[in-house]
Chains A and B, each alone.
Chain A
Amino acid sequence: MNTFKIGGVHPEPNKLTADRKIETLALPKQAVFPLSQHIGAPAVPCVQKGDTVRVGTRIAEPGGFMSASIHSSVSGKVAKIDSVIDASGLRKPAIFIDVEGDEWEPSIDRSDKLILQSNKSRDEIIECIKNAGIVGMGGACFPTHVKLCPPKECTIDTLIINAVECEPYLTADHRLMLEHPDEIIIGIKIILKVLGIDRAVIGVEANKPDAISLLQSKTSMVSGIEVMPLQMKYPQGGEKQLIEAVTGRQVPPPPALPANVGCVVQNVGTVFAIYEAVMKNKPLFERIVTVTGKGLKNPCNLKVRMGTPVSQLIEYAGGMPEDTGKLISGGPMMGRPLLDDTAPVVKGTSGLLMIPEADAIRREERNCIRCAKCVQACPMGLEPYLLATASEASDWECAEENWIMSCIECGCCQSTCPSRRPLLDWVRLAKNRVGGIIRARNAKK
């Protein structure tokens, strides 16, 4: 079985919810939509206080080329445009909508019927995806319409579907594949049409044999789509690692893109959203969220309207355990800590994880004993110990020379460090500073 070559770790999978069916969560009383749910410029509100909206109404327009629109997931009145603390931990502008009933935009096809064919052209499909506000659902939230228009000078030959879900605990993509395989395959065909190529590979880690066999049986009759089981290793779901695992090609360091090696990677959740947008005319306002944690009474996979406060999800899953020390949006390796349970579910919320206090507290930091475990674990071939030391000493030059901008912030180094050093905290700081220095240098030129 294929996998990527350099580094990687094997965290405990802890997939507690792998065999829980997706359940639908009730509507919230008030839904909150932060204006920056994606990479790039924040969206600009196109509703005002007091406006009536329906499910699927666009409430914010893209604020630039690299941006995405936002749609209401509920029907009701716009209560206010204020600010909310989201998963970044910062106060961000957001639209608040008081829920009244559940009235959908009439253009949305709400039936379960599978639509196999569409006669939309390539440009129409891209427009459709853009209007639906679709962003990468894996967590990075990169606007999808931008990703589907790779630079002209790159020849794309392979579409890779990221169904790896290498983050421990999370099972949202796994359940989606089991319950909606046909929609995903149609979605892949749509993307192939947009890219004008005929080869797609679905990369799935070997710990999901049911999903692999299901997709294999569904794709056996479809030419061009291949299901590739991959050896379990974190961070296989990282874009660059997945491309290497599937095709053997290595993406050069930034600013190079996957398109430079002829690949486009899409998350399986994004593919499903594309199907719904193109075939059902349904914008992105729902997603599947894994609510999980070892102390949780009823860990589950939920279909959630965006804007729902996470407290409602936690309540559904049996309430936050007494000993919870950390509430994380996303998985344990790359997720972001939430400041409290009032934050809303956004496009990038793939999971909600509660970690008991005993596991949440970091152990006391010690001297680096130079064991080189971080160097061996780093999937990008970096030296995290050196980068962290350089960052601590504010030696940005040294950090840049040692390829800090290649870091994908996967957390392998820190999770293996026997001295419990906060390596990634320091690397992230240095990455931020070096990024600023590079931008300033480029601006001068």
Chain B
Amino acid sequence: MAQKLYITTSPHVHCGDTIERNMRTVIWALVPAFIASVFYFGLGAVIVTATSVASCLFFEWFITRVFLKRPSTLADGSAIITGILLAFNMPSNIPLYMIVMGALVAIGIGKMVFGGLGNNPFNPALVGRVFLLISFPAKMTSWPVPHQMTAYTDAVTGATPLNLIGQIAGGNSAAVDQLPGLKDLFLGNIGGCIGEVSAVALLIGLIILLWRKVITWHIPVTILATVAVLTGIMWMINPVLYVNPLYHLCAGGLMLGAIFMATDYVTSPMTTTGMVWYGIGIGFLTVIIRYFGSYPEGMSFAILIMNAVTPLINNWCKPKRFGEAVK
């Protein structure tokens, strides 16, 4: 026997799955939403996304190599996803320096201070976004109207469906007429953050993620179902003040959050029962913030709050052990 044998305990084979493969699939799943955003917001979407991804990659590289003196973790692709998701959560007319600041907070404070990928308690992209939302509320909550292909910071802004839904709930029944049709909402022909507008593109992403078995259905479906049920109940109670639940499903960042942000591996619960509770929590908090909070959109806050609860959920929701029922 010439060759040296390797010795390890079983198993000796692996299914071939890697972090990179999962991250790559998520990036592919985000592509339809990106195409839709370029179609609706043109140049602005491209500039913001490119800047965000580039600065996230830079900060990740800089912090790992210069501060931590560790091998670079750029290759795992998580920084790219953080960059894309951060960009998708911003309006397409946001100035460059804000994007860079958001990326620094997302990667630096959201992820690296906790020890990098796998240790962060909160979704990094959302940490960056919420930082920007609180620091620059005016810039972060004025969204350009679609179809200004060459405009960037000079784009004309307008009300988004969620603004209008809020106004209707506040008693301004005239706003009903301004509400776009469901078809426009579904396709994404509305004002809003770059990545969140097109429900259909995000649903294609969901199908890709489920098909490649990157995520399970539990989190996105429970979030969407909870929002639909809660807003449906309110709609049935008073259809004048509260809009059709379909508007809630397609408007704002609900789809983007439910499909891509709440399902983030690191910050979501580990068991299926935990995932269901987590999804219900996010859906519930989103509706509460949308109707009763001061911000028109509650998705980011809802996800961050549930991220904080995730360790508790992991402690409470244990999987059903084999043979547990039989005592």
Contacts and interface: CB of A to CB of B under 8 A. Distances in A.
Interface of A: 6, 9, 11-12, 89, 168, 240, 244, 249-253, 256, 261, 320, 322-328, 330, 332-341, 353, 355, 357, 359-363, 366-373, 375-376, 378-383, 385-386, 402-403, 406, 409, 411, 414-420, 422, 424-425, 428
30 contacts: A6-B319, A6-B320, A6-B322, A12-B13, A250-B323, A251-B323, A253-B321, A253-B323, A324-B3, A326-B8, A326-B12, A332-B10, A333-B13, A337-B5, A337-B6, A355-B13, A361-B6, A363-B14, A367-B115, A367-B116, A370-B118, A371-B265, A381-B321, A381-B324, A386-B270, A414-B11, A415-B15, A416-B15, A418-B17, A420-B14
A416 B213 CA distance: 12
A386 B21 CA distance: 23
Interface pairs A-B: 8 shortest CB-CB:
A411-B11, A367-B118, A381-B321, A371-B265, A332-B13, A380-B322, A418-B17, A372-B270
Interface residues of B, number: 43
Interface string B196-215: 00000000000000000000
B29 to A, nearest CB: 15
Contacts, number: 171
A129 B14 CA distance: 39
B323 A332 contact: no
A418 B22 contact: yes
Contacts of B237: none
B3 A371 contact: no
Contacts of A416: 15, 17
Given A369-B118, A419-B118, A357 B6 contact: yes
Given A250-B326, A403-B321, 10 more contacts: A6-B322, A320-B3, A337-B9, A371-B265, A372-B269, A383-B270, A418-B18, A419-B118, A422-B8, A428-B9
B11 A332 contact: yes
Contacts of A335: 10, 12
A6 B6 CA distance: 32
A370 B275 CA distance: 13
B69 interface: no
B266 interface: yes
Nearest to A364: B71
Of B265, B266, B270, which is in contact with the most chain A CB atoms at under 10 Å from its CB? B270
Contacts of B321: 253, 380-382, 403, 406
Contacts of B216: 376
Given A326-B6, A369-B19, A418-B21, A381 B320 contact: yes
A333 B272 CA distance: 26
Contacts of A327: 5
B11 A334 contact: yes
B3 A357 contact: yes
Nearest to B20: A418
